[in-house]
C-alpha cells in the first residue's frame, strides 16, 4: 500500500524542497513524496546547489501551494517552520504530524560561503531526520 508524505514550509523554496529531494531518494519506493508552501517563493538556487553537492538534483522541482486534497490523504505531514505548523490547514485525525523546527537558510547573512554553510547544515539535518523515518 502506498504511503503519502508532505513536507510543508512557508514558501516551499528551501527546507521543504530539500526534504522532498532526500525523501524521494531515501524513503522506500512505496512512498509518494511531495512538498508545498503556504506561499510560493520559487526554488532557491542555493538549495539546488547544496543538494547537487550530495548528488541530488532538485532543479526540476516546483514551488507549489498546499493542496488540501493531497494533504487530507497523507499518512505523514512534516512542517519545517513554525509558520507552516501554525497556518497549515486542518488535517483528519488519521494524518500523523511531525514538526522539524529548522532555521530558514534563506535568512542567512554574511559572505556567500557563510550562507552556503547554513544551507549545508540545514541540508544535513534534514537528511538525518529523513533517515530516521525509515
Instruction: Convert the pLDDT of each residue in 58-67 to its tens digit.
Output: 999 999 999 9
Torsion 101-103-105-106 (CA) sign? positive
Q: How confident is the model at residue 16 (pLDDT cuts 50, 70, 90)?
A: very high
Terminal alpha carbon distance of the chain:
16
The reported pTM is 0.94
- Given this model, what pLDDT does residue 93 score? 86
Q: How many other C-beta atoms are found inside a 10 Å radius of the C-beta of residue 18?
A: 33
Task: Note the pLDDT tens digit of each residue in 80-133.
Answer: 987 777 877 778 888 999 999 999 999 999 999 999 999 999 999 999 999 999
Q: Tell me which of 123 and 11 has the higher pLDDT.
A: 123
Task: Note the pLDDT tens digit of each residue in 42-58.
Answer: 999 999 999 999 999 99
Residues labelled catalytic: 9, 81, 88
Helices (H), the chain: 15-26, 45-52, 68-72, 82-87, 112-133
Q: Of 93, 129, 97, whose CA–CA distance to 15 is shortest?
A: 129
Q: How confident is the model at residue 77 (pLDDT cuts 50, 70, 90)?
A: very high
Amino acid at each position: 500500500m502506498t504511503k503519502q508524505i508532505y513536507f510543508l514550509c512557508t514558501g516551499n523554496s528551501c527546507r521543504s524542497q530539500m526534504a522532498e529531494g532526500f525523501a524521494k531518494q531515501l524513503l522506500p519506493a512505496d512512498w509518494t513524496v511531495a512538498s508545498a508552501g503556504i506561499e510560493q517563493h520559487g526554488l532557491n538556487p542555493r538549495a539546488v546547489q547544496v543538494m547537487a553537492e550530495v548528488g541530488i538534483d532538485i532543479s526540476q522541482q516546483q514551488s507549489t501551494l498546499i493542496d488540501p486534497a493531497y494533504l487530507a490523504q497523507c499518512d505523514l505531514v512534516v512542517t519545517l517552520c513554525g509558520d507552516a505548523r501554525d497556518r497549515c490547514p486542518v488535517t483528519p485525525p488519521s494524518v500523523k504530524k511531525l514538526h522539524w523546527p529548522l532555521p530558514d537558510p534563506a535568512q542567512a547573512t554574511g559572505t556567500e560561503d557563510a550562507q552556503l554553510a547554513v544551507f549545508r547544515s540545514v541540508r544535513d539535518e534534514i537528511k538525518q531526520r529523513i533517515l530516521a523515518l525509515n
